[in-house]
Amino acid sequence: MKSTSDARARVAVLAILTLVVGCRQRMADQPAPRPLTPSQFFADGQASRPLVEGAVARGDLNEDEALYSGKAGGQFVEEFPIAVNRAMLDRGRERFDIYCSPCHDKVGEGKGVVVQRGFPQPPSFHTQRLRDARPGYVYDVISKGFGRMPAYGPQIPVADRWAIVSYLRALQRSQNATLDDVPAAEKTALLEGPKPGAVEEAGHGAAHGDHR
């Protein structure tokens, strides 16, 4: 009697295990289509699904059109959409030297190291056309590229792109400055020249190791 009960118990356990194994699906075998592969599940036959209309990724709302596109009402902006200060200019110079100077050189004349090695020379930033270009246009070119220049939008954050534009404006100003650009207090000293004896005194100090 006992052996019969044991046999029945074994059969029951075996049946349950068979059902469990038969219904179990290994994670490695689950339906997980690879990106851009065909699919028979969806009506359009594509495994990769389009974004839901109107969906915005977290942190990418970009409501400020002027800031993120360099345009307002379909036109390139004439004013910077963020405040320009010394810290921004310093950041722009750093980013310019990293991303722009290899082609445009550090002065902006288009004679960078890659140009010296055979890459087509870009136009100088000091031409009248580019000096007159709106900040929004320059930002757009950095973002999307132009001609042989690739798009740097994926590499350079929005704030850094504007920082580069601000530094470029300062660079253009520095290479085309006139006496009228000099502040009044410094203009007087510049016009008057060094005070009598100042040159001799400076030379005397240098000769005696005075490097104050």
Asked if residue 2 has pLDDT above 80, the reply is: no
In a domain, 99, yes or no: yes
In a domain, 20, yes or no: no
User: Half-sphere exposure of residue 105, counting CA atoms within 13 Å on the CB side?
Assistant: 17
Q: Look at 8-12, 75-79, 120-124 and tell me which has the smallest mean pLDDT.
A: 8-12
Please report which confidence band the pLDDT of residue 45 belongs to, taking 50, 70 and 90 as the band edges.
Answer: very high
What pLDDT, on a 0 to 100 scale, did the predictor assign at position 195? 66
pLDDT tens digits, residue range 180-192?
888 887 888 877 7
pLDDT tens digits, residue range 89-114?
999 999 999 999 999 999 999 999 99
In a domain, 103, yes or no: yes
Counting the structural domains of the chain, the total is 1
Whole-angstrom CA distances from 209 to 48, 131, 156, 212 are 73, 45, 46, 9
Q: What is the mean pLDDT of residues 163-176?
A: 95
In a domain, 45, yes or no: no
Asked if residue 170 has pLDDT above 50, the reply is: yes
Domain hosting 119: range is 85-176
Tokens of 174: 């520095």
* Domain CATH number, residue 140: 1.10.760.10
